[in-house]
Structure 1
């Protein structure tokens, strides 16, 4: 499949009533991009590796991972799958509710404090639907921190929160596509950037988005089906790099 702007925009599309498609969602002029405003996240759940866990990752040139609530939930299972398939160890800095900028701040802090392994996994972007225009600069910043000789894997996003109104779900979807287009554009600038195409996987068959098959709330993976599918995509990307 050739990934064009058109099928990136439709990737992960949610089935919404036709009356909603003609409505006018909130825009930046209304104070947001239709998805609302990101609330405080600093006191949310997190999973951060200790120095004792980080050292063997650096010694064996494993991976550093920076993610959000999906990764807080799925990170341990990913670590087990990665160990069994590739033998790699992974150190994580996952924080629920966190948008990409503070995740990249954490990457910079670890780079200064510990140095970096040859591969970085970024599983962040879902919380940037509330302010999509800032995302591209954080991709470029990540690649600058990683440097020209490291590979960065980045999981793209699919958000359409089923607990919200249909208008908000539509805005979530549009903003997810905006995030994913910025990733696709960045890949043209950065040859060491690899996109893990979670949104395209979900969009390939409509039933994957329906009836909470892979996403329990329009964002977070179901366990085990969604979790296993997303982790499998990540590991395959790492294996093929």
Structure 2
């Protein structure tokens, strides 16, 4: 993925992009009071285990492993966009197995990756579309990226989609906190990309921040993609990253 690595921003650019997106996404809504448990301003993570999920069968995982496919671990954006992504990849001759779960932060997503690695073995390309729900506790994220890289080893490629969150239905203060915490997640990914030669980023946040109009055209509530425009744009970036991996 050399061409995309050449475009990687420095830390200042990451936070400038985040700040620009935050300003563009802020609306006028009623103020909300953070709870005592809300350490980072975005609120608290709810019970994601009861939410929707999409998990491939054992037969699909085995087929993907044996036919140079891709295993994907994601959250609600991936639950929504996974079928469309699978179709795009299939058109390129690449099969996709998914373990996507709405509301899930990265730690249990990496648990699922580890489980598949032990139970089935892994293909040479892993897609991580997770990090959105880590805005509620950003400091724990970097350790999970390190853990991911240990699980996959040095002979596989990890393609990781970075984050853009600024929930427009929330107060202005929470929207700014969302964007600040998104930038925090992205900064940790940026550091990890420098550390691991087999980690490549899909720069969704920078793509959105490059044109302020994209934040409303391609996101429907500051998080999930619009369909089909946002879904196609994000999935196209992912396909580009996987083809280069």
After TM superposition, the score normalised by the length of structure 2 is 0.91
Give SS of 2:126's match.
strand
**Counterpart in the other structure of 2:137:** 131
Find the partner of 1:174 among 154, 159, 180.
Answer: 180
CA contact (8 A) 2:25 2:175 kept: no
Structure 1 residues 87 and 145: CA distance shift in structure 2, 3 A: same
Give SS of 2:155's match.
coil
Structure 1 residues 106 and 39: CA distance shift in structure 2, 3 A: same
Give SS of 2:49's match.
coil
Kindly report which structure 2 residues correspond to 1:20-35, keeping only aligned pairs within 5 A, or say none: 31-35=38-42
Find the partner of 2:196 among 181, 190, 200.
Answer: 190
**Counterpart in the other structure of 1:122:** 128
**Counterpart in the other structure of 1:216:** 220
The alpha carbon displacement at 1:17 in A equals 9.3
Give SS of 1:11's match.
helix
CA contact (8 A) 2:25 2:168 kept: no
Kindly report which structure 2 residues correspond to 1:1-241, keeping only aligned pairs within 5 A, or say none: 1=7, 3-12=9-18, 13-15=21-23, 31-84=38-91, 86-209=92-215, 212-241=216-245
The alpha carbon displacement at 1:10 in A equals 2.4
The alpha carbon displacement at 1:37 in A equals 0.5
The alpha carbon displacement at 1:26 in A equals 6.3
CA contact (8 A) 1:64 1:119 kept: yes
Structure 1 residues 190 and 89: CA distance shift in structure 2, 3 A: same
Unmatched segments (≥5 aa) in structure 2:
1-6
How many residues of Structure 1 are paired with residues of Structure 2 in the alignment?
A: 234
CA contact (8 A) 2:40 2:177 kept: yes
CA contact (8 A) 1:161 1:219 kept: yes
The alpha carbon displacement at 1:192 in A equals 0.3
Deviations 1:59-105 (A, max 9, x none): 10211000000000000000000111x21101000000000000000
For the residues of structure 1 that align with 2:103 and 2:25, how far apart are their CA atoms? 29
**Counterpart in the other structure of 2:4:** none
For the residues of structure 2 that align with 1:208 and 1:15, how far apart are their CA atoms? 13
Moved beyond 2 Å, runs of 4+: 14-18
Unmatched segments (≥5 aa) in structure 1:
none
After TM superposition, the score normalised by the length of structure 1 is 0.92
Give SS of 1:206's match.
coil
Across the aligned residues of Structure 1 and Structure 2, the Cα RMSD in angstroms comes to 2.1
